[in-house]
Structure 1
Amino acid sequence: MDCTDVEEGYKVRYTPLVPGDYFIAVKYNGFHIVGSPFRVPCTGELLASKGVTETSSVMVETVTKVSKKSSHVSLPVFKSDASKVTSKGMGLKKAYMNKQNTFSISASDAGANLLFVAVYGPKGPCEEVFVKHLGHNSYQVNYAVRDRGDYVIIVKWGEDHIPGSPFKVEV
């Protein structure tokens, strides 16, 4: 097994010695990434004796990467006021496991900017957060949680938190 630094991230190579199902766990900060562990069915010649159980692991200390491409994208300068953004909905107070939880955001009086929404729970970031622009700087946010516990919902209009953010939500 080896790991190589590539422009998009990291490339890990391994050679299975016996045909069968292999499980590959990929973790970040000690938590499985979405989909991990991955089941990989392997076929081919028998290169070692069956019955021996082996595990291999590689740990990569990540570093901040800088693109080799010279094109730099700069954001426009926005004039807005996050304090004028309003939010409402049950999904900001209480959430239910394995159901769509919803809330709305209105930034119609806040000027132009970018909306950022994050839902973070006891086991890390929420796997599914959907933000739908409804027009006129109004948005609907849907998210699903899979674990019980306390969650934090962060809503920013540009660089600034909207009133009430971060929101504490019980599941």
Structure 2
Amino acid sequence: MSSLDASQIKVTGEGLTEGTTGKKCEIYFTGAPIGELEKGLTTRVDGPQKSEIIVDFEKENSDGQVEAYYVPIVPGDYKITVRFNGRQVPGSPFKPKVTGQPVSAEKLISKATIHGRASELGKAYSVNEFVVDCSRVKPVIGSLKVHVKGQERSSAQLNLVDNKNGTFRVLYKPTSPGMYEMDIKIADAHIPGSPLKIRVTEFLSC
């Protein structure tokens, strides 16, 4: 358990007071080592459209700050809640005002691509794998979310692996043959090609 408490965490940046649709609204965190921040920090952005704060826990900038941002796609009044170890940090909730025209999430993520035979054809009772490439999606407006469903009484174990280079491995293990549907989304918007229609068979030919 961390010996630090929320009162020691400092949050700064223009993104706490204002922002523009479709652009990075920057935020910075200090007051704890990166490892402690990654374990204890939670954020939430509420407003006309839910947004996600993207935090770079890999490194600190030259001022010893951990950099983060969010990309709102709808103008209006937002509320940012920041907690550390379950308690709100000083100044939270922050209430930025976002201006600009509404931006299409689909347009922002239009450069995401899907690669691999297993995105169309899979083998039952086995782990199937394909790749989602989001490396050309800039700025990142949210994390990748994957959901799969099969026909009645069919399901698939699902695992998403972040390769830390903008690409993701999607692994799924169907419990039976049949047709499966897989949603792949960023910021609640389907990436190109989603939802996938995957035919799962008992045997795959080479």
Q: TM-score w.r.t. structure 1 length?
A: 0.53
Structure 2 counterpart of 1:116, from 123, 127, 145: 145
Give structure 1 regions of 4+ aligned residues with deviation exceeding 2 angstroms.
Answer: 71-80, 123-127
Please state which structure has a larger fraction of its residues in helix: 2
Among residues 192, 196, 200, which one is paired with 1:167 in the alignment? 196
1:73 match: 44
Q: Deviations over 1:14-57 (max 9, x none)?
A: xxxxxxxxxxxxxxxxxxxxxxxxxxxxxxxxxxxxxxxxxxxx
Matched residues in 2 for 1:155 and 1:78: separation? 19
After superposition, the C-alpha distances for 1:87-109 in whole angstroms (9 at most, x for unaligned) are: 11111111111111111011111
Which position in structure 2 is the counterpart of 1:87?
A: 114
Distance (whole Å) between structure 1 residues aligned to residue 133 and residue 43 of structure 2: 31
Larger radius of gyration: 1
Cα RMSD of the aligned pairs, angstroms, is: 2.2
Q: Per the alignment, in what secondary structure is the counterpart of residue 163 of structure 2?
A: strand
Q: Which runs of 5+ in 2 are unaligned?
A: 1-41, 46-51, 54-69, 73-104, 201-206
8 Å CA contact retained: 1:87, 1:105: yes
Partner of 1:135: 164
5+ long unaligned stretches in structure 1: 1-70
TM-score normalized with structure 2 length: 0.45
Distance in 2 of aligned mates of 1:123 and 1:104: 27
Identity score, percent: 24
Q: Are the counterparts in 2 of residues 88 and 105 from structure 1 also a CA contact under 8 Å?
A: yes
C-alpha distance in 1 between matches for 2:198 and 2:43: 38
